[in-house]
Structure 1
Amino acid sequence: MDHNFKFLTLPHRSGEVANVFIHGYSAGHDMEDRCKLRKYIPTSLHNGINIFAFWPSGHWAQFDSASSGGVAALARINALAGAGAAAVDRAMHFNSSRNRATEMGKQLLGQLERYLLKHHPYVSKVNLVGHSLGGRVVVSALLDLLDKPDHEGLEVGEVLLMAAAAELSAEQAHAIQQRTKCKLYNAYSEDDLVLRFNLGENSIGRRPITSCEHEHIHDVSMAQFGHTDYWPRLEEVLRASRFHGYTGGLPRSNQPEPVDEVPDPVETDYLLHDLLELTSPTIRGQVAKHLRSSSWTKLEAEPALYPLTQELQLLGGHCLVNLARGRGLKYVQILLMLAQHYGLVNELHDCAQVVEMEALLISKCFQSSFGEKHVLASRQDIVQHLDAMTEQGYFDQVDALAASLTVTSYFSTPEAPAPAYRKSDSILPSGSTEIALASASTLSSLSGLVPTERIKAAVNNLKSAVKPGYSALIPAVAILFYARLKLNNEGLL
Structure 2
Amino acid sequence: MQHQWDEMHRTRKPTFVRCGEPQGDVLNLYVHGYSAFFNRQQLGNFKEQLAGIEGSTNVMLFWPAGHFLENLFAPFKDVLGAVLGGGGLGAATVGVGKAIAYFLDHYKSVEARVDEVAKSLLPELATYLHSESLQVRRINLIGHSLGARILVKSVLANPETARELPLDNLLLMGGAICTSSPWDAVAAPLKGRVINCHSSKDWALAIKPDSERCIGRYAIPVTPALKAKVTNVHLATFDHAAYWPQLQTVVQYTDLLHERRGMIRSDQRSSEVRFAEEDAELFPALVQARPEELKFLAELMAQKRSTSIDATVREPLKLAIELQRMGGDTFMNMARGHGVSYRQIAEDVVQRLGIKFDQPLATVELPDLEAQVADRLIEQYKDKLSHADRLVFDAELQAAAQKEQGLFSRFDRGRSATTALSGTALAGLTGFILRRGAATAIPVVGQAVAAAMLLVTGVRAFSGPAYSITPLAVLVIGVIRQRMEREALNQEMDLVAQVVEAFDLPRDTVMRTVPSD
TM-score interval for Structure 1 and Structure 2 normalised by the shorter chain: 0.3 to 0.5
Point out which structure has higher relative CO (alpha carbons under 8 A, 6+ apart). 1
TM-score, length-normalised on structure 2? 0.45
TM-score, length-normalised on structure 1? 0.47
